[in-house]
Structure 1
Amino acid sequence: MLVIAGLLAYAVLIGGPLTRRLARADWVSRHPQAALRLWHACALGMLTSLTGALVLAAHDLWEHGMVWLFHADKPLIHAAYGGSWQAQGIADAALIVLLLGAGGLSALALRRFVRVRRERDRHRLTADAQGTYEGDGDPALRVLAHPAPTVFCIPGAQGRSRIVVTTAARDLLSPPEYAATLEHERAHLRLRHHRAILVADILTAALTWAGLLRPYADQVRRLAEMAADDCAARRHGRRTVASALLGMCEAAPPDAVGGSAAVAMTGPDPAERIRRLIAPSASSPSPLAAALVSAATVVSFLLPTALALGPAVLLFGTAHMGG
């Protein structure tokens, strides 16, 4: 009972107050890629905690597995994970909720994946049919005749990725700004931010009804743009990236193309990103801070596993004792 309560408490804590606090933290803008990993670890840790609590409540399945895996004494395992509080009705209800939750999440993920893939295919078809390749040494680049200045990338496997630039954006940007903008989009593809966005959208849609992980999807989009800005800034300078972003935002509102189907240059929070890029205090991330974030990432994901397996580990080999 205590293990289940601990897992549920951890899920509520990490999916509620801790993620809300993380969304307001100042340090994430200095370490966006590390913060992205921490967000994913928190989400997966919360999902692991909820799943673990339901599996433990459906005690027969879990207890048989722990007895077999750790060669533990079955009565001791039963006492550690359940005891007198358990009833057949509770175990059956937990198993039903677990199966329904897994089925619902799988169906939601499949619908989102199919929808996003169709949108990407439609964008790619338009880019290939109406766009032109104008060199630059990048076979993925397509220039599309359009009056709105827009740059975005379309993810795809095995050479199907595209970076789409409208003629208005190409004419608006100076050569250094244009190169920085293309590097920004290449960073999105290289770091596979589209996958992170899709996962965040799915889990946020699945769990936000319970008040958990509400900032997840928005924060992933925000941090993905900052991480791509940093990649472009390392090659072309922070002020060049900021100038390109400012020029595109002044010429037109943020791009309508976006979401998880195509990732646009202007993206979310352009004003915050510009301030961040031109801030005098902008500097390289601290190795110590990055190490602390990495440690927190590992702990947030592994803690629910440790809570679930802890009692069984302590009872390792007890099947061969006594009797």
Structure 2
Amino acid sequence: MMVPVALLLLGALTAVLAPRVFARASWTEREPVVALWMWQCVVVGVLLCCALSMAVSAAAAWKAVRGHLFAPAPHGVIDAYALAGSGPWAAATATVLAAGGAWTIVMLTREVAEARRRRRHDRAELLVRSPLLPGEKRGTDRLLVLEGDRPETWWLPGAPSQLVITTAALRRLKGRQLDSVIAHEQGHAQARHDWLLHCSGALARGFPQVPVFAAFRDEMHRLVELAADDVASRRFGRMTTALALVELNEDKGVFGPCPSPRAHVPQRVDRLLAAKPRLTAARRLRLTAAGALVPLVPVLVAFGPGLHTLG
């Protein structure tokens, strides 16, 4: 009855090592999309370890679960897992992991509900700042221009999503700079980065004692911006995108010596101006394949004894 223990150890090892490996990696800023993929694979791998360990532990603790879980399997497969010899810890492990799974669902539901509440609030605020004309319907336009003294642009997700831009931003951004900002926000919308942020935020809030989930949330906020910057820079150039970032943020104190909530903006500008080359296609493929292996390993560990018996 070593499979649940092996899965839990594998999940703990992945949760501990993954943030350290990513922190030392020098390629993540050059390939943020690949880094996003690998981070998702790591988190899915950790969650799979917990879910599969819960399933096998529950099968060991309760015959009813065992009957449903191993119903289509030959009798020899059940013997390979040595479920009958498990101690009382199997029920406790299954219960704790099930509670963790339920808490994850609760936190994700809460995160989605809060996001919807914020969107309703933002849309109501936009309606006050930009009232509808007689016969006009809100949400039919994908671009909304607001009167404003501060240059700001933001993407409002939902159905349909909208790009909101202030008149101050229109006055500051010239030609291709405005196009690059629109492309940046379209990159967020097309990749559905809002869902990545919801999931990472839910895990980090639900399990603040697990460092890998906090690192996942922080990296998602950073990498989605870098990925959207790349979408804009590939269409309109790195210099144009960097200048657009400066124009939008130079009056917000982000380029001064004191830290600010937007401290990542100068780093994004420096990255665009540095213009480091992308990784080769072969290396991107290897990294993508390595990421896909992370959630595959716990599946192989869980099904290993049964596959060995059948083989």
TM range (shorter): 0.7 to 0.9
Change (3 A) 1:194 1:75: closer
Letter in 2 for 1:230: D
**Which moved further from structure 2: 185-194 or 53-62?**
53-62
Query: What is the RMSD computed on CA atoms of the aligned residues?
Result: 2.4
Q: Tell whether the 8 Å contact from 2:239 to 2:273 is kept in structure 1 after alignment.
A: yes
User: What residue in structure 1 maps to residue 198 of structure 2?
Assistant: 198
User: What residue in structure 2 maps to residue 35 of structure 1?
Assistant: 35
Q: Tell whether the 8 Å contact from 1:142 to 1:165 is kept in structure 2 after alignment.
A: yes
Instruction: Find out whether 1:274 has 2:272 as its counterpart.
Output: no
Instruction: Find out whether 1:292 has 2:286 as its counterpart.
Output: yes
Change (3 A) 1:97 1:77: same
- In structure 1, distance between residues paired with 2:263 and 2:141: 27
Q: How many residues align?
A: 295
Letter in 2 for 1:11: G
Letter in 2 for 1:71: P
Q: How does 1:144-223 map to 2 (within 5 A)?
A: 144-157=146-159, 160-223=160-223
Change (3 A) 1:132 1:37: farther
Instruction: Find out whether 1:108 has 2:107 as its counterpart.
Output: yes
User: What residue in structure 1 maps to residue 243 of structure 2?
Assistant: 243
How far 1:36 sits from its partner (Å)?
A: 0.4
User: What residue in structure 2 maps to residue 93 of structure 1?
Assistant: 92
Q: Tell whether the 8 Å contact from 1:32 to 1:224 is kept in structure 2 after alignment.
A: yes
How far 1:74 sits from its partner (Å)?
A: 5.7
Letter in 1 for 2:210: A
Give unmatched runs, 5+ long, in structure 1.
Answer: 255-265, 318-323
User: What residue in structure 2 maps to residue 312 of structure 1?
Assistant: 306
How far 1:63 sits from its partner (Å)?
A: 4.5
How far 1:125 sits from its partner (Å)?
A: 3.0
Letter in 2 for 1:110: T
- In structure 2, distance between residues paired with 1:239 and 1:132: 37
Change (3 A) 1:4 1:92: closer
- In structure 1, distance between residues paired with 2:109 and 2:12: 26
Q: Tell whether the 8 Å contact from 1:67 to 1:73 is kept in structure 2 after alignment.
A: no
Change (3 A) 1:253 1:198: farther
- In structure 1, distance between residues paired with 2:150 and 2:249: 11
- In structure 1, distance between residues paired with 2:224 and 2:212: 21
How far 1:83 sits from its partner (Å)?
A: 6.0
- In structure 2, distance between residues paired with 1:106 and 1:242: 39
- In structure 2, distance between residues paired with 1:132 and 1:141: 15
Give unmatched runs, 5+ long, in structure 2.
Answer: 133-139, 255-260
- In structure 2, distance between residues paired with 1:293 and 1:54: 30
Letter in 1 for 2:47: L
Letter in 2 for 1:76: D
- In structure 1, distance between residues paired with 2:253 and 2:116: 26
Change (3 A) 1:164 1:238: same
Change (3 A) 1:75 1:47: closer
User: What residue in structure 2 maps to residue 71 of structure 1?
Assistant: 74
Q: Tell whether the 8 Å contact from 2:3 to 2:81 is kept in structure 1 after alignment.
A: no
Letter in 2 for 1:70: A
How far 1:294 sits from its partner (Å)?
A: 1.1
Q: Tell whether the 8 Å contact from 2:153 to 2:164 is kept in structure 1 after alignment.
A: yes
Change (3 A) 1:208 1:214: same
Normalised by the length of structure 2, the TM-score is 0.87
Look up the SS of the partner of 1:149 in the other structure. Answer: coil
- In structure 2, distance between residues paired with 1:297 and 1:48: 14
Change (3 A) 1:65 1:312: farther
How far 1:197 sits from its partner (Å)?
A: 0.8
How far 1:110 sits from its partner (Å)?
A: 1.3
Q: How does 1:5-84 map to 2 (within 5 A)?
A: 5-58=5-58, 59=60, 60=62, 63-65=66-68, 67-73=70-76, 76-79=79-82, 82=83, 84=85
Q: Tell whether the 8 Å contact from 2:18 to 2:212 is kept in structure 1 after alignment.
A: no
Letter in 2 for 1:296: A
Normalised by the length of structure 1, the TM-score is 0.84
Look up the SS of the partner of 2:150 in the other structure. Answer: coil
Letter in 2 for 1:303: V
